[in-house]
Amino acid sequence: VIKMSDLNLAGKRVLIREDLNVPVKDGKVTSDARIRASLPTIKMAAEAGAKVMLMSHLGRPTEGEYAEEFSLAPVAADLSAKLGKEVRIIKDYLGGDFEVAEGEVVLLENVRFNVGEKKNDEALSKQYAALCDVYVMDAFGTAHRAQASTHGAGAFAETACAGPLLAAELEALGKALNNPARPMVAIVGGSKVSTKLTVLESLSEKVDQLVVGGGIANTFIEAAGYNVGKSLSESDLVPTCKKLNEIMEARGAAIPLASDVVCGKEFSETAAAETKNVSEVADDDMIFDIGPDSADELATIIKNAGTVVWNGPVGVFEFDQFGEGTKAISMAIAESSAFSIAGGGDTLAAIDKYDIADKVSYISTGGGAFLEFLEGKKLPAVEMLEKAAAK
Ligand code: 3PG
């Protein structure tokens, strides 16, 4: 693909699709990780003398209707503070009836207010494309969506290229997934096997150790013939878990099962935590974390790894008494010399809580996009950029 850093942007109208879909509360941005990640791209374009137009979605508003709660205004304010200069927000931009100075940065209002954005409408895509000389796709977090601002705009733009953030994400994730230093360990946590089944299937073909956690692990524990009591478990997927185990074993790889677990009788912040052997879970127990022996075993696996891919906590870490397993994993990743990548909202929250952000080799800005990458899917925005480079 063509890279933004290879182009001369001076005096050009440059339209950059970022993923500035950040949490907002009471008109304020509450987590600015995605904004911080996009800053180097924005600064690079502005410093090159481009007329910079940023575009992004925020949330999932009703198409064709302006709604203040989905306005990017709080993001514009945050960006203004970070850049030390005003970032104007432009509401009516589709007709191109606005001026941007060289070196200036403006933010176009939420693209999902536009009719046709989500269905990648051709007419809307052409309107976006007409705003610019160069279209930059930098929104890794939305690269799995074939929508007008992430796909169509680039397909119709005079020049379409990958921004530095998108390029860096693709490189880091590609290195971990396609050319991993071994042993390669993946940690997949989360509540359900069903929502991560394609990720598990794809990783089962690649990794040396597939560590499952959270509700996902419960179904594997059930598949191993143990009682999981009242734990979240998808009994109908027990055969699927057995199959995944077989695939891994046939390759000389493994899905390590927890030898001990931490149980509670209710899902609450004050629930008492009880550590048990995995064979001793009672009918009224709920498994909320891996136990200390299992945490030690996983820490050893992680410390000896060449590559670690992490998506999803292994316990209910928002309650401290069920957070030790996720904490142990975080610490092991921090201490490991393995090339580590992590992504997904809950994972980022755990990384924040245990303060290991600067110890992870690469933290993805993607949630759904990160998962689709792990699934081995080709991201539509990347396909568009490849086509654009070939023409
Ligand atoms: C995300 O937060 O995962 C991306 O911004 C994509 O948002 P979407 O799932 O609403 O398309």
Mean pLDDT of 282-291: 98
Task: Please say if 315 is a catalytic residue.
Answer: no
Residue 249: predicted pLDDT: 97
Which atom from ligand 1 is nearest to the alpha carbon of 141?
4
Task: Please say if 345 is a catalytic residue.
Answer: yes
Say how many Å lie between the CA of residue 222 and the centre of ligand 1. 33
For the stretch 356-376, pLDDT in tens is 999 999 999 999 999 999 999
Q: Is 21 in the pocket of ligand 1 (CB under 6 A)?
A: yes
ipTM value of the model?
Answer: 0.99
Selected catalytic residue, list 11, 27, 96, 345: 345
Q: Is 372 in the pocket of ligand 1 (CB under 6 A)?
A: no
pLDDT band at 391 (very low <50, low <70, confident <90, very high): confident
Task: Please say if 353 is a catalytic residue.
Answer: no
Residue 117: predicted pLDDT: 98
3-state secondary structure 5-70: HHCCCCCCEEEEECCCCCCEECCEECCCHHHHHHHHHHHHHHHCCCEEEEECCCCCCCCCCCCHHH
The whole model's pTM is what?
0.92
Selected catalytic residue, list 49, 103, 368, 376: 368
Task: Please say if 192 is a catalytic residue.
Answer: yes
Q: Is 344 in the pocket of ligand 1 (CB under 6 A)?
A: no
Residue 345: predicted pLDDT: 85
Query: What value, to the nearest 5°, has the Cα angle with vertex 232 and ends 228 and 235?
Result: 70
Which atom from ligand 1 is nearest to the alpha carbon of 367?
3
Residue 262: predicted pLDDT: 98
Q: Is 88 in the pocket of ligand 1 (CB under 6 A)?
A: no
Which atom from ligand 1 is nearest to the alpha carbon of 368?
3
pLDDT at 260 over 90: yes
Q: Is 307 in the pocket of ligand 1 (CB under 6 A)?
A: no
Strands 286-290, 260-264: parallel, antiparallel or unpaired by DSSP?
A: antiparallel
